[in-house]
Amino acid sequence: MYYQRKRFLFYSVLAGLFTILLLFVFFGLDSSGYRLWGSSSIPAMIPHQVNAQIIESPSQAPVEVYNSALDKPAPILEIKPDLPLLEEPKLPTASTVTLDTYVPAPVLAAIPSAASEIKGAVQSTAKPTPLPSKISIPVLNYHSVTIDPGNVVVISPAKLEEQLTYLHDHGYTPVSLATFISLIEGKSDEAAPKKPVLLTFDDGYIDNYEQAMPLLAKYAFQATLFISPDMNDQEGYLNWEQIKKLQEAGWDIQPHGMTHPHLPQLSSDQQAYEILEARKQIEEKLGTKADVYCYPYGEYNKTTLKLLKDHGFRYAFTIDQGFATNQQSPYLLKRLFINGEEGLKSFIRKLSTYD
């Protein structure tokens, strides 16, 4: 009897230990993802390896359909590193630039609507400086007066007389250089001629004395002669005695450089000599003021313009085409080139085209 109780107690303890062992096994398998067949809550010995097909429905999102009643395998979580935090963008500060920053006040005032259309634009109260009433005078640019077919800078005496006759018959008044300056500056005390015109002759060719002077005297016309003193007495050019007689006939004599140089190719000192020495010799020889310049070849640069201004020249003529006006720079007055090969109709057209 005693041995039977001990045996019963031994088997009871052994059964308990076996039960505890089975419980540990079941709990371990469940945590590993295994389940028993036909059970939804007890771990099994077969892993979920089931292929799935995706069937798309036209009215809803894709639906996953599995070939087995087994649950869909648990998704694998992918751990990604945290993304860096983005800094909050800084908004630009309001611009302090206005239309007035770039456009001068007088110009801006002339277009007030432009400023009002820009938020925050400063509208100027300054009034624009009005341009003076335009005064336009044709300045005719002649050179040599002789017979030289094909040379556009040479006009025949016959053609010159034809042009002078046209000017006379159509009410044009060739004026002196002093009158021209008074008219262009609007300071003339006398009644301005209805159709003023300035006749200019460049270089100082001897035919200006032999051919042009008698023709202008016939109509009592005045003219301005631009000379290069270093070329005087050379073949084909005037001498000082002839120049004095032209002056006595009402011609104004002004500088055209000492040697008729290409001024932009010279240094500042060389340009100064060409400009100032020519003026000096004319004033000493003729006792007249020589403060109106004519650019040889029509060429100049910033140095030329500065020299003229610094040394008190009043005006300078170019070969740029057009009427001379009071709205041009005093050192960039325009002229009308007289092509000796053109006829009277072209001459008449020049007088009207640029007016």
Residue 225 — φ and ψ, nearest 5°?
-115, 125
Q: What percent of the chain has pLDDT over 90?
A: 58
Q: Which structure tokens are listed for 250?
A: 């009402």
State yes or no: pLDDT of 128 exceeds 70: no
Q: Which of 9-18, 188-197, 211-220, 289-298 has the lowest mean pLDDT?
A: 9-18
Task: State pLDDT tens for residues 78-93.
Answer: 545 555 544 544 444 3
Residue 269 dihedral angles phi and psi, to the nearest 5°? -65, -40
Residue 278 DSSP SS3: helix
Judge residue 61's burial from the number of C-beta atoms within 10 Å of its C-beta, 0-12 exposed, 13-18 middle, 19 or more buried.
exposed
pTM for the full predicted model: 0.64
pLDDT at 314 over 80: yes
Q: Are 175 and 163 in contact (CB under 8 A)?
A: no
Give the whole-angstrom CA distance, residue 69 versus residue 49. 12
d(CA 136, CA 130): 17
Residue 162 has what pLDDT?
98
pLDDT surpassing 80 at residue 165: yes
pLDDT for res 339: 97
Asked whether the predicted pLDDT for residue 97 surpasses 50, the reply is no
Positions of E strands within 45-108:
52-55, 63-66
Q: How high is the pLDDT of residue 49?
A: 42
- Is 90 exceeded by the pLDDT of residue 106? no
Contact assessment for residue 76 and residue 70, using Cβ atoms and an 8 Å cutoff: no
- The pLDDT of residue 120: 46
Find, among 202, 173, 354, 215, the residue nearest to 293 by Cα.
Answer: 202
- pLDDT for the residue numbered 116: 39
pLDDT for 112 equals 37
**Mean per-residue pLDDT for 239-268?**
98
Q: Per-residue confidence at 25, pLDDT binned at 50, 70, 90?
A: low
- Of the candidate ranges 7-21, 111-125, 126-140, 189-203, the one whose mean pLDDT is the lowest: 111-125
